[in-house]
Every structure is written in structure tokens, then in C-alpha cells.
Chain A
Amino acid sequence: MLSECFGDPRARTVAGWKAVGGYEGIARALEIGREATIDDVKASGLRGRGGAGFPTGLKWSFMPKNSARPHYLLCNADESEPGTFKDREIIRWTPHQLIEGCLVGSYAIGASHCYIYLRGEFFESTNVLARALEEAYAEGLVGKDILGSGVDIDITLHVGAGAYICGEETGLMNSLEGRRGEPRIKPPFPAAVGAFGMPSTINNVETLAAAAHIARHGGEWYRQWGTEKSPGTKLFCVSGHVNKPGNYEFPLGFPLMELIEDVCGGIPGGHALKAVIPGGSSVPIMDAGDCRACTLCYEGVEAAGSMLGCASVIVMDETSDIVKQVRRMAHFYAHESCGQCTPCREGTTWATRILQRIEDGRGTEDDLDTLVEISEQMTGTTICVLSDSLAMPIISSIEKFREDYLALIRRGERVGAA
């Protein structure tokens, strides 16, 4: 569904997108009305694809009704979770899929303006989306009186400047407003006080793309895929040690091992699986045992001890150096911490230093306890979840791959090369 036109340059144009049923979703939404569109998305059970998995229809229904203040839809295209590369594919292959999703979302929440916050690094994909948006304006699909309905919806592209934290919804709002991208304390929630102080809803690119299809076909249609708690399809971004990495769209609930072994052609060189990070770098690491029975849906990955996040499956084979990779992740979070909250600002840096010390063969066994202790203090103590996002891989890696750490600490032996 979402990925049907990936790889087909014809689908980039308005004509090409209409040829595969594009813009029928917004047409139907305009016909059935706001409430019915939200009801459809609620009925579909669509959950936010940015990582948190919050029900989209419910989020939309939080927006105030009959308010005279401007409402904003913000599309989060600041894709920067390590391991995630699905939104860029949607944008560069099917820009109109996103534009249509933005129209549906804006209409449903009563927003006359939608800002798409794009990652600054996405020059090429931004150009594709910009051309598509110009085309959509010229065709009367965006702007004043869209499709002759009397509804006005403007879409504006806003380009960021390189900060992971701007993918956090309130950090994104601050950045859009021309401030440092520091997350805001909630409440107030964005539906009450969001961008420019106005009621706002933030959705991920993939969420809005899916909403365009739901608007076209109805909520029940979407439930033909997936599980009761995780309906629909999802783009799985597979990276790391597999023969055929890439984006694969499957119904939620797809077995993890089947994805790795059958779809992605297994692990190169006949190596054995060591670990999988199933949802982007911010979730607990799973060992090979956890992976065996894991199904890729929100509840399935949770049962296996981790989180689906944005379904970015990072595969690590037996040659992987877990300590090095966790240290690399810690370095990333230390670099990207906005510095507002002490546990995060200090914790991410301490953790990086300690992990570096262990990697260099100068660590002690006490360091592992210290790491766990710091990580625990980084959990649930800050404005946003950036520090939790590092705490989880640290704690889970020490729990599951303690031997790797100990080999370095006791004998100076590095396990794995990559």
C-alpha cells in the first residue's frame, strides 16, 4: 500500500499519483465531513508511526472543536532515529502520498495550515516534495478552495538544520518557531497550546500517508491487515547484517525471523544472529533467543522485551562488537542532548566516557554497575525521552551481553569486529 509505487518515477507527478487512485482519499474526506473522517481513522486503529504508537484518530479528536483560533497540522519529517529510513522513501518516491495525507489530516482537525518539518539533510527529497507541492498548488489540490470544496488548506515546507531532538514533537515546535529545538514541558499538550501557541497536532510522515489510504477506503478496510491491537501495514526498515537491507512493507504481526531470513536473504557469510534492535536505536536490544518467537507488532515486540518504535530493525551478527556499538549510540545521544535537563546532559556524556574507557580496555567491573545506576537515573527524570532512549540500550546490553563487557574488562578481549 504505502510502498506500492516506490521505485517508479512516474508516481512522483500529480498525474501519476492520480493514476493509482491518489487524491481520492481527500475527495472522499471532503464528502463525508470532518467527524466522519476522524471516525474512519479511529475505526482503522491506525497508530502513530513515529515511534510512540499513539492512536491517530484519538489524537485528532483532542483538537478543540468550534474554536476560532488557527489550528495547525505539523508533519514530522525530521526522520533521524538511527536505523530509520522509511520517511525519506515516502517523500522521494511518492511525495503526493504525503501531501494527500497532510490534506486529510489538516481537514480532519480543522487546520487551514500545515507545516511539513523536513530534516535539513534531505536536500534531494525536499526538492522532489517541493516540485510536487508546486504541482499540487497549480492543480488546485492545495491552497484556496481545494477541489472546489470551499475548504482552504495551505502546506508549507520548513527545513530544519540538523538536530535529532527536533524530531521530538515539542522540540519540533520550538524549532519551527525559530527557537532552539528544546522540548517543552507537558502539559499543556500540543492540542491545547502547540505551534505558535495555537492548537496543533503532530503526525509522522508514514502515519499521514496511511491516513490518506484510510480516508479513501474507510477504517474497516485497513483492519484486513495486522493484529487486533496493531492494525494495518508498516514499513520495516531493515539494516545492518542482512543480505538485502531495505524497506519492506508487511502487515503488522509479521514474524521477525522470517523478515530477516526469508525476506532479507539472511545474514551474509553464514554468520549466526547475535542481536537485533527492533525499533531504532532508542529501544532495548534483543538477543537471538528473544528474536525467535518475536512478531513485529506493538504488543509482539513488547512481549519479547523491547519496543516496536518505528520498526527499524537493526540486525547484528556474531561478529558484532556490542560494546563498541553501544558506545557509538551513547556518543550520538550525548551529541544530540539539548542540555536542558541535568540527568540527560550529564548522564549521556558520563555514559559515553565510561563506555569508551571499557572499550579501550581500561574499564572495571564496577563501571558496569555505575552505567546501570546512571541509566536508571536517566529514566523518567527528564522533559523528553532522549535520555531514556540511551538508558534502555545500555541496561539491556549489559543484561544480555555482560560477557562481552567482561571479556574486555577482565582480559582486554574484544568480542566481534564490526
Chain B
Amino acid sequence: MSEVRFRNPGWAGNTGEFDLSEADVRGTEYVGERALDGGHPSVAPSLPYMFVQKDPEAPLFEGPYRERFEKIRGRYPTARAALLPALNLAQELRGHISPETMDEVAGLLGLSDAYVRGVATFYTMYNKRPVGRFLIQVCTNISCNLCGADDVLAAFLEHTGTELGETSSDGNFTVAEAECLAACGFPTCVQINSRYFEDVSVDDVPAVLDRLKREVNQGF
């Protein structure tokens, strides 16, 4: 299997019997390329990506990222409200949110270090330590679990040769367990960086990983 198939985009009355490309399902054609400065202020700061390449030393914030940060600050009635989008932006650049990053963001927004640490540690999606080029999050909550998600998680661990929450020795993969990803009709759902892979079975795991390895080589 060369591509991960979308067997089931799951709309009413058409489940399982359809002919759509991956681009159709993901909407990539419609979305197109998004500028790093994010475009319109109403949407710009809301678009954190998860990139393959991460730069833990990246400055906060320069160039298009500075523009996005300014757009963030301009769109809420309070400075505090910009905190989550600013942390998202920092993670997009650096790949994780270290305590030092939290303090830097605090300084940018005029909030206390302790306050920002309290908020940042509340949210699961802020990686508190570095992750691999691909962060593989396997949903093991009830609907996926009923359909064998534990085995899919085990398969990812086996094929990447890592422990849960750890990063493979080549730096490519970090495998983690995720709570419900809101794709329960397409078990097992796996979030890999910014993308959802749905209907992933144990047998699909090697092909998914091969695809990711190709993407690293292609400089994605």
C-alpha cells in the first residue's frame, strides 16, 4: 500500500462507498499554500502548524512570525487572551515549549513568568520536552479502543523501536497515546503532526511509517 487510503470519510448515507482523493478529504486543494504571516488577521494567528523541522533556538518572533504575533495581539480586548495563540506560535517554531520559552512569551505579553507556566502546563498540546520530526499520537479512547487501538499503538511502538512518549534514535518519531481525537467513526485515528490518519489498522502501520520517512527525505 503506497498511500494511506481514506476508506470512510463518514458523511450521512454515503459511508464506505465513495470515490474521493486524499486531497478532497483533507481539503488541501481548497486551502492551498498558507503564508507564514497567516493572511487575514481573523484567521492568521489561529493556524499553528506542526512542522517536521523544528528549531529550538528560533527567535521569538521575527519576520513573518513577528507579523503573525502582532496580528494576535491586535485582535483581543485583553493582552492575556493572546497567550494561547502566542504559545502555539512558539511551539510551531521550536517544536516544544520549554520553561525558558514560557518565560520569553511571558515577557513579550507583559505577564508574569509564574502565570504563564501555570497556563502552559494546563494544556496537553504544549510539548514540555522535545519531540521527534513526527509526533505520532494514537487515540486509544473508547471508540477506537473497541476497534483495536491498543494493538495499533503497540504496532507503532514496535515498528519505530521506541517506548511510549520517547523519541526513536534517528530522531524521526515520537509515539504517544492521545485522548479522543473526534474521529471515532474512523478507528483507529492517529494524529501525526498536523494531519489525521484515519481507519489505521495494525497492518497499515508500516506503510504509514514508510510514507513519513519518504517525506523526511523529500524535505517536507
* A residues apposed to B, CB below 8 Å: 3, 6-7, 9, 12-13, 70, 79-85, 87-89, 92-93, 118-131, 133-134, 137, 142, 154-164, 175-181, 196, 235, 237-241, 244-249, 264, 277, 281, 312, 314, 316, 320, 324-325, 328-329, 332, 335-336, 338, 418
Query: Are the C-beta atoms of A162 and B125 separated by less than 8 Å?
Result: yes
Shortest distance in angstroms between A237's beta carbon and chain B's nearest beta carbon?
6
Which residue in chain A gives the minimum CB-CB distance to B118?
A180
**Which of B27, B76, B187 touches A9 (beta carbons < 8 Å)?**
B27
> A161 CA to B140 CA in the complex, in Å?
19
> A241's closest neighbor in chain B, by CB?
B146
Residues of A within 8 A of B34 (CB): 127, 130
Query: Which of B43, B76, B77, B183 has most A Cβ within 10 Å?
Result: B43
- Chain B residue numbers with a CB within 8 Å of A235 are 12
**What 4 A-B pairs have minimum CB-CB distances, sorted nearest first?**
A6-B11, A162-B125, A246-B10, A178-B83
Chain B residues within 8 Å of A180, by CB: 118-119, 122
The reply to whether A124 and B194 contact each other, CB–CB distance below 8 Å, is: yes
Beta-carbon contact of A246 and B47 below 8 Å: no
Q: Which residues of B contact A157 (CB under 8 A)?
A: 42-43, 46
- Contact A418–B85 (Cβ < 8 Å): no
Contact B10 A89 (CB under 8 A): yes
Whether B87 and A336, one on each chain, are in contact in the complex, defined by CB atoms closer than 8 angstroms, is no
Chain B residue contacts of A131, Cβ below 8 A:
27, 30-32
User: Which interface residue of A80, A87, A125, A158 has the most chain B CB atoms within 10 A?
Assistant: A158
Could you tell me if B29 and A123 are in contact, using CB atoms closer than 8 angstroms? no
Q: How far is the CB of A405 from chain B (nearest CB, A)?
A: 18
Known A-B contacts A133-B43, A332-B179; the reply to A246 vs B15 at CB < 8 A is yes
Residue B184, interface by CB 8 Å: yes
Q: Judging by beta carbons under 8 Å apart, are B191 and A239 in contact?
A: no
Which residue of the partner chain A has the closest CB to B178? A121
B122 — nearest CB in chain A belongs to which residue?
A180
Could you list 10 A-B pairs, sorted by A, with CB under 8 Å?
Answer: A3-B13, A6-B10, A127-B34, A130-B43, A156-B43, A158-B85, A162-B124, A177-B80, A178-B119, A325-B142
Question: Which of B48, B118, B125 has most A Cβ within 10 Å?
Answer: B125
Once A157-B43, A159-B48, A180-B118 are accepted as A-B contacts, the answer to whether A314 and B15 lie under 8 Å apart by CB is no
Asked if B88 contacts A120 (CB within 8 A), the reply is yes
Q: Are B47 and A127 in contact (CB under 8 A)?
A: yes
Residue of A nearest to B80 (CB): A178
Given known contacts A119-B182, A156-B42, A245 and B81 CB-to-CB distance under 8 angstroms: no
B: residues with CB less than 8 A from A are 8-16, 18, 20, 24, 26-27, 29-32, 34, 39-40, 42-43, 46-50, 75-78, 80-85, 87-88, 118-119, 122-126, 140-143, 145-148, 178-187, 191, 194-196
A199 to chain B minimum Cβ distance, whole angstroms, is 13
The chain A residue with its CB closest to the CB of B120 is A161
* Chain A: minimal CB distance from B139 (Å): 9
A162 to B40, CA, bound (A): 24
- CA of A154 to CA of B74 in the docked complex: distance in angstroms? 13
User: How distant is the Cα of A235 from the Cα of B15 in the complex, in angstroms?
Assistant: 14
From known contacts A121-B181, A133-B40, infer whether A245 and B80 are also in contact, taking CB-CB under 8 Å.
Answer: no
Q: Given known contacts A3-B13, A156-B42, A196-B76, what 16 new A-B pairs fall within 8 Å (CB)?
A: A9-B30, A80-B180, A82-B143, A83-B184, A87-B182, A118-B46, A123-B195, A124-B195, A133-B40, A156-B43, A160-B84, A160-B125, A161-B88, A163-B122, A178-B76, A314-B146
Choose among B146, B182, B195 the residue that contacts A418 (Cβ–Cβ < 8 A).
Answer: B146
Q: Which of B85, B123, B126, B194 has the most C-beta atoms of chain A within 10 angstroms of its own C-beta?
A: B123
Among B18, B124, B187, max chain A CB count under 10 A is at B124
On whether A248 and B88 interact (CB within 8 A), knowing A9-B27, A157-B42, the answer reads no
In Å, the complex CA distance between A97 and B26 comes to 18
Q: How far is the CA of A124 from the CA of B140 in the complex (A)?
A: 21
Contact indicator A92/B182 (Cβ below 8 Å): no
Known A163-B122, A320-B146, A325-B142: A80·B81 in contact at CB below 8 Å: no
Contacts of B12 in A (CB 8 A): 3, 6, 235, 246-249
CB neighbours (8 Å) of A137 from chain B are 40, 42
What is the CA–CA distance of A134 and B130 in the complex, to the nearest angstrom? 33
Bound-complex Cα distance A338 to B9 (A): 33
Write out the residue numbers on chain A whose beta carbons fall within 8 Å of the beta carbon of B183.
85, 88
Q: Are B146 and A161 neighbours in the complex by a CB distance under 8 Å? A: no
Among A88, A158, A247, A249, the residue within 8 A (CB) of B46 is A158
- Interchain CB contact under 8 A, B184 and A314: yes
Closest residue of A by beta carbon distance from B19? A7
Known: A82-B143, A120-B125, A131-B32. A244 touches B15 (CB 8 A): yes
Closest partner residue, chain A, to B43 (CB atom) = A130
Cα A178 to Cα B78 with chains together (Å): 9
Residue of B nearest to A142 (CB): B42
Q: Are B142 and A82 in contact (CB under 8 A)?
A: yes
